[in-house]
Amino acid sequence: MTRYIRDMRGHGPDAPDPRWPGGAKIAVQIVLNYEEGGENCILHGDAASEAFLSEIVGAAQWPGQRHWNMESIYEYGARAGFWRLHRLFTGMGIPLTVYGVATALARNPEQVRAMQVAGWEIASHGLKWVEHKDMPEEEERAQIAEAIRLHTEVTGDGPRGWYTGRCSENTVALAAEAGMDYISDTYADDLPYWVKIADKDQLIIPYTLDCNDMRFATPQGFNSGDQFFAYLKDSFDALYAEGEAGQAKMLSIGLHCRLIGRPGRVMALKRFLDYAAGQEGVWFARRIDIADHWAQEHPPVERPLPSQMSREDFVAAYGGIFEHSPWIAERAWGLELGPAHDCAAGVHNALARAFRSASRDERLGVLRAHPDLAGKLAAAGRLTAESTSEQAGAGLNMLTDEERADFTRLNTAYVDKHGFPFIIAVRDHDKASIRANFERRIDNDTETEFAEACRQVERIAEFRLMDLLP
């Protein structure tokens, strides 16, 4: 069994209505990353200085040495940037989520107290602000446990949310194992979503790297406050318009004390906050507020997932989608299925691939497995449940004697000419248009009709799957 574990579908084309409180058209969620004092530093027992997200673009680590300039840039975030941002957000009454590095929180007690007095959520940003990609799984598990312990000791409460940022392939699973209410080490969506990790339904609240002041410190990023403001405003306007159209979303914004806290940038942030706060139907929320709301309004729903079914269960569920041809489901099960196939379009694509790659004789067998329209099997009540419903929906179960005789004549002529029954997805038609298509198609050459019949078989399968799956 080949399975592709990445989820390329997500909420699909019809994302759920988040039903934000008060009927809000958009949720604006702002994160303040508090990393100052938790970054790479010889004083912290690290092998080299920090080199990431500072005014020194392209900085390199200094192995075995303190980097005085880098340290002072981080210190600016704690000493000046934080308080400038604290005054701005508390003055506007806008709540934040703080991603707090545990060791940074421990080294900044006055700022922690100010966060708590303001009612900000303090989520965990890991033990230290360092790379985790090469960290052994057991070491990362131990660091997560120590981060939670230290966070609880410093703040008085354990974190309910987690974001490592510089994560490994194990981070999300390890954070779920640690019991987080939500995890944000993903950038995959504009809405929260659930994933199954081990036996746990884990809520994921995506974060952002584009609406993020980190782009002031990266190549091809923001060079001025105006660029940052314009990008935030355009992002807000796009999502706000979707909310007005009944497809509300979440705008996530990421900030850093040492970056946006500079005087030359903070005014751009203030202009955006003034703009967003001036619109109707805007919910400024902490991440934990969004997590609690989502868990209440959109709890995880358990349903069989086609990509996770055994061969037997898959064939039992979908073996009849192509009329009397379970072998198609058997072959489809062996394809590289994944979360993108856990919907009607996904299963249909897999079944259609198996059908299309079959030999001509095998496909002909599928065509011949289909009943005549309004034929003898229908009259005798011997159609499959799906065919019975489909023909009845088009009114083919209520023909006059004259209409029935007419369909019998056409069926006989069509099979005599082409060697398989006339097939049409009756849900796309009414009785009159079925009759018109019958008259038109009977004169086609057999190869043209074979191709058309195969397309119609796939369309019938699509309708049947839409009855069963999202």
* Arithmetic mean of pLDDT, 22-48: 92
Between 105 and 392, the higher pLDDT residue: 105
Chain segment 85-102, per-residue pLDDT in tens? 999 999 999 999 999 999
Residue 369: partners with Cβ closer than 8 Å, 6 or more residues away = 323, 324, 325
pLDDT recorded at residue 383:
55
Q: Would you state the structure tokens that stand for residue 356, as one six-digit string?
A: 């299309």
pLDDT recorded at residue 380:
44
Chain segment 188-244, per-residue pLDDT in tens? 999 999 999 998 999 999 999 999 999 998 887 898 999 999 999 999 999 999 999
pLDDT recorded at residue 399:
66
Residue 307 pLDDT exceeds 80: yes
Residue 379 pLDDT exceeds 60: no
Q: What is the CA radius of gyration of the chain?
A: 30
* Arithmetic mean of pLDDT, 428-438: 88
pLDDT recorded at residue 233:
98
Among the listed residues 374, 433, 377, the one whose alpha carbon sits nearest the alpha carbon of residue 404: 374
pLDDT recorded at residue 6:
92
Q: What percentage of the chain exceeds 70 in pLDDT?
A: 95
Distances (CA, A) of 445 to 5, 151, 256, 452: 44, 75, 69, 11
* Arithmetic mean of pLDDT, 382-402: 66
The model scores a pTM over 0.85: yes
pLDDT recorded at residue 42:
86
Residue 217: partners with Cβ closer than 8 Å, 6 or more residues away = 53, 54, 55, 57, 259
Distances (CA, A) of 289 to 21, 294, 304, 451: 10, 9, 30, 54
pLDDT recorded at residue 384:
72
Using an 8 Å Cβ cutoff, are 3 and 266 in contact?
A: no
Residue 40 pLDDT exceeds 80: no
Q: What pLDDT band is residue 375 in, cutting at 50, 70 and 90?
A: low
Residue 142: partners with Cβ closer than 8 Å, 6 or more residues away = none
pLDDT recorded at residue 98:
98
Residue 124 pLDDT exceeds 50: yes
The residue written with tokens 């289909």 in the block is 370
Using an 8 Å Cβ cutoff, are 458 and 355 in contact?
A: yes
Between 38 and 291, the higher pLDDT residue: 291
Among the listed residues 218, 207, 120, the one whose alpha carbon sits nearest the alpha carbon of residue 171: 207
Residue 52: partners with Cβ closer than 8 Å, 6 or more residues away = 39, 59, 166
Using an 8 Å Cβ cutoff, are 331 and 317 in contact?
A: no
Residue 388 pLDDT exceeds 70: no
Return d(Cα 432, Cα 453) in angstroms, integer.
Answer: 19
Distances (CA, A) of 41 to 30, 36, 44, 109, 388: 28, 11, 5, 19, 73
Residue 150 pLDDT exceeds 50: yes
Burial profile 28-65: b = 16 or more Cβ within 10 angstroms, e = fewer: bbbbbbbbbbbbbbbebebebbbbbbbeeeebebbeee
Strands 26-34 and 249-256: parallel
Of the candidates 125, 370, 418, 429, the residue annotated as catalytic is 370
pLDDT recorded at residue 408:
86
- Tell me the average pLDDT of the chain: 92
370 tagged catalytic: yes
139-153, 206-220, 311-325: least confidently modelled range: 206-220
pLDDT recorded at residue 396:
66
Q: What pLDDT band is residue 394 in, cutting at 50, 70 and 90?
A: low
H/E stretch holding 386 reads helix 385-393
Between 403 and 200, the higher pLDDT residue: 200
The residue written with tokens 């400024």 in the block is 284
Using an 8 Å Cβ cutoff, are 399 and 430 in contact?
A: no
Query: Helix crossing, 431-441 with 401-418: angle to 10°?
Result: 30
Chain segment 239-258, per-residue pLDDT in tens? 999 999 999 999 999 999 99
Half-sphere exposure of 99 (CA within 13 A, CB side): 26
Half-sphere exposure of 77 (CA within 13 A, CB side): 24
H/E stretch holding 403 reads helix 401-418
Using an 8 Å Cβ cutoff, are 148 and 170 in contact?
A: no
pLDDT recorded at residue 90:
98
Residue 303 pLDDT exceeds 80: yes
Chain segment 325-359, per-residue pLDDT in tens? 999 999 999 999 999 999 999 999 999 999 999 99
